[in-house]
Amino acid sequence: MRPWLGVERTLAGLNRLAQQQGLKTENGNPVRFVPPGAKDAYYELKVYRTGAVETRPDNLHDFFNALAWLAFPRAKARINALHAAEMAREQGQRGSLRDLLTVFDEGGAIVECEDAGLNSLLENMRWKELFWDQREQVSRAMRITLFGHAAMEKAAEPWPGIACKALIVRPGADLDGAVQSWLGGLQPGASPRHLAPVPVFGYPGWADQDEAFYEDRRYFRPSRPDR
């Protein structure tokens, strides 16, 4: 069941589901969605210490963030806890690990696929070979789930340039648990370059696509920067 898909766009509706699911930060604070206050550079630390997630239900970005908490509670709690731990160590100098956390939180995607050939094409940014030449196999063997709430917001007004940073997992995995586990294994020097970029509108059926669509270098860059 996915009760968050039918939630009313109000703080009361979001908090009702949060309470039903027993949503908590990793240090045990009940997560609740609250009206925004003054802007605070220590947003993640405040969430970790209080469980209060500032949310404007009429704002798609905030609303999708709340839905991500409901859909991926362990992964979101782990991201928040890692931010809080890193902030305590950084002494005001933001590091690459927090950049990775933010990039995945905002624009992450989860790719379920155990076909080594397809995964290799994705990781090496061979988009036309992947999404056009192998489109039937991709449709059968690869599934992409958006995780990042900013990517969800962008998808409300779709355009081919929407790209995510992807984590590849085995099909049928508990996606929330898989992301939580991956996050727990990150090293302090990890950066967004450790994640595969993926132009999600290249996936078969997500847009009007023909062979020329995948030759547009604005959206389907031909090589991958060093990780």
Same domain, 64 and 143: no
If we measure between CA atoms, which residue out of 129, 118, 113, 127 comes closest to residue 161? 127
The count of domains in the chain is: 2
pLDDT digits (tens, 9 = 90+) for 84-133: 998 877 776 777 899 999 999 999 999 999 999 999 999 999 999 999 99
Answer whether residue 203 is part of any domain.
yes
Output 196 or 114, whichever has higher pLDDT: 114
Looking at the structure, tell me whether residues 10 and 111 fall in a common domain: no
Together in a domain, 107 and 211: yes
- Quick count: other Cβ atoms within 10 Å of Cβ 62? 20
* Confidence bin at 226 (pLDDT 50/70/90): very low
Strands 52-54 and 143-146, by their bridges, are unpaired
Residue that terminates a domain, selected from 23, 47, 71: 71
DSSP for 144-182, please give it.
EEE--HHHHHHHTS--TT-EEEEEEE-TT--HHHHHHHH
Helix axes 11-21, 60-71, angle to 10 degrees: 10
Whether residues 59 and 161 fall in one domain: no
Average pLDDT over the chain, rounded to whole? Answer: 90
pLDDT at residue 183 tops 50: yes
Q: Both 145 and 193 in a single domain?
A: yes
Contact 170, 114 (CB under 8 A): yes
Check pLDDT > 60 for residue 225: no
Of 69 and 96, the structure prediction assigns the larger pLDDT to 69
Q: Is residue 67 domain-shared with residue 114, that is, in the same domain?
A: no
Q: For residues 24 and 124, state if they share a domain.
A: no
Q: Which range among 2-11, 34-43, 68-77 has the greatest average pLDDT? A: 68-77
pLDDT at 194 over 50: yes
Beta bridge pairs of residue 33: 53
**Burial of 141 from C-beta contacts in 10 A (0-12 / 13-18 / 19+):** middle
Q: Does 46 fall in a domain?
A: yes
Tens-place pLDDT, residues 123-179: 999 999 999 999 999 999 999 999 999 999 998 887 888 899 999 999 988 999 999
107 with 205, same domain: the answer is: yes
Quick check: is 93 in a domain? no
Which pLDDT does position 89 carry in this prediction? 79
Question: What is the extent of the structural domain holding 12?
Answer: 3-71
- Does residue 9 lie in a domain region? yes
Instruction: Assign 193 a pLDDT band (cuts: 50, 70, 90).
Output: confident
DSSP-derived secondary structure for 70-139: HHSHHHHHHHHHHHHHHHHHHTT---HHHHHHHHHHHHEEEEE---HHHHHHHHTT-HIIIIIITHHHHH
pLDDT at residue 46 tops 50: yes
> Do 35 and 134 have their domain in common?
no
Domain for residue 169, yes or no? Answer: yes
Residue 43 and residue 131 in one domain: no
List Cβ neighbours of 147 (8 Å cut-off, separation of 6 or more). Answer: 68, 72, 75, 104, 105, 108, 109, 110, 164, 167, 179
Same domain, 110 and 204: yes
Q: What six digits make up the tokens of 40?
A: 């605070």
**Are 151 and 201 within one domain?**
yes
